[in-house]
Each structure stands twice: as structure tokens, then as C-alpha cells.
Amino acid sequence: MTSPDGGSARRVFLSLGSNQGDRRRFLAEAVESLGPMVTAVSSVFETDPVGGPQQGLFLNLVVELRSTLTPRELLAVCHRLESGAGRVRTERWGPRTLDVDVLWIDGETVADDDLEIPHPRMWERRFVLAPLRELAPDLVGEDQVIAAVGAVRVVDGLPPSPGSR
């Protein structure tokens, strides 16, 4: 697959998490809205919050995409998904309906104030590494998952969307 500017589609990983409202629905709707870019979705993990204020448990997953979008375009997609779930940014690392982060883009490194790829804290967080390892064992070793912070447990996959039956 080649983009209009001649670039080819690359493997991209996004992390999605929710700990407010209908957590599973927010995740499912976000994944569904990514459409044909989605090539794989991890199991859903229930996870402890890491950092920030005291808050409820999260549901987290990782989505693998094939995409020709630039890092900035992917960041805009993340913000659109969060807005669609009614996310309001009031407190850093506070409770949220949906959090979407660009974790990894094959062959891409970005070091800007508002965007870093690979994600700067992904290697410290078990809620990112456990689902990422399911999809990309070539990127994440079991020892890295074990060394990361936070408790995780698989709760299931996402239910099929009504349109996919």
C-alpha cells in the first residue's frame, strides 16, 4: 500500500484506555471508528491506574494499524477519538472516558514537546506492554512486561460491533 506522496503504509500501535463511564463501549467505539486501518486488537486488560490522583481501574488495550498517516495526523486521530468519547482534560493523568496514545510507528522517531514516538513512558507501564506484547512480541519481551509497573489482568476481548455481524 502506497500513500499519495509515495510513502508506504507502516505498522502503528495505539494504546487505548478508559476508566470513566461505559469503559468497554468507549474502547469498542474508538476501535470501530478506526475502520480498515485496524489489523489487530489485543485482549482487554483491567489495570491499576499508574501515576496521577487516586481513581478507578482502567480498561486498556492496544490496536495495531497499517497506515500512511504522518505522526501529526495520527495524533489528530487520537484527539478526535478522545473528543468523540467526551473526554475533558481537567487533571493530568486524572480519570478519563478515553485516552489514546501513539505508542510506536515503524521507522519513526519524534521528539517534540507535544508528541514523542516511541511513547516516552511505554516501557515503564505494564498496562501498555502486556497488550502490546500480544500483538508485537518482536518489540516487547516478557522480561520487559515483568519489570514494568502496575497490575494487569485480562478481562476479555471487545464485543463485536453491531455492524460486524
62-117 pLDDT, tens digit per residue, is: 999 999 999 999 999 999 998 887 666 665 555 778 999 999 999 999 998 889 99
101 is catalytic: yes
Q: How far apart are CA 87 and CA 47, in angstroms?
A: 19
SS3 category, 130: helix
| Mean pLDDT along residues 125-154 | 94
98 Cβ contact list (under 8 Å, min separation 6)? 16, 17, 18, 26, 27, 30, 81, 82, 84, 85, 87
| pLDDT per residue as tens digits for the range 28-66 | 999 999 999 999 999 999 988 776 667 788 899 999 999
The confidence band for 158, taking pLDDT boundaries of 50, 70 and 90, is confident
Question: Catalytic pick from 96, 125, 126, 133?
Answer: 96
96 is catalytic: yes
pTM listed for this prediction: 0.86
Question: Catalytic pick from 5, 10, 11, 99?
Answer: 99
Query: What CATH topology corresponds to 10-160?
Result: Alpha-Beta Plaits (3.30.70)
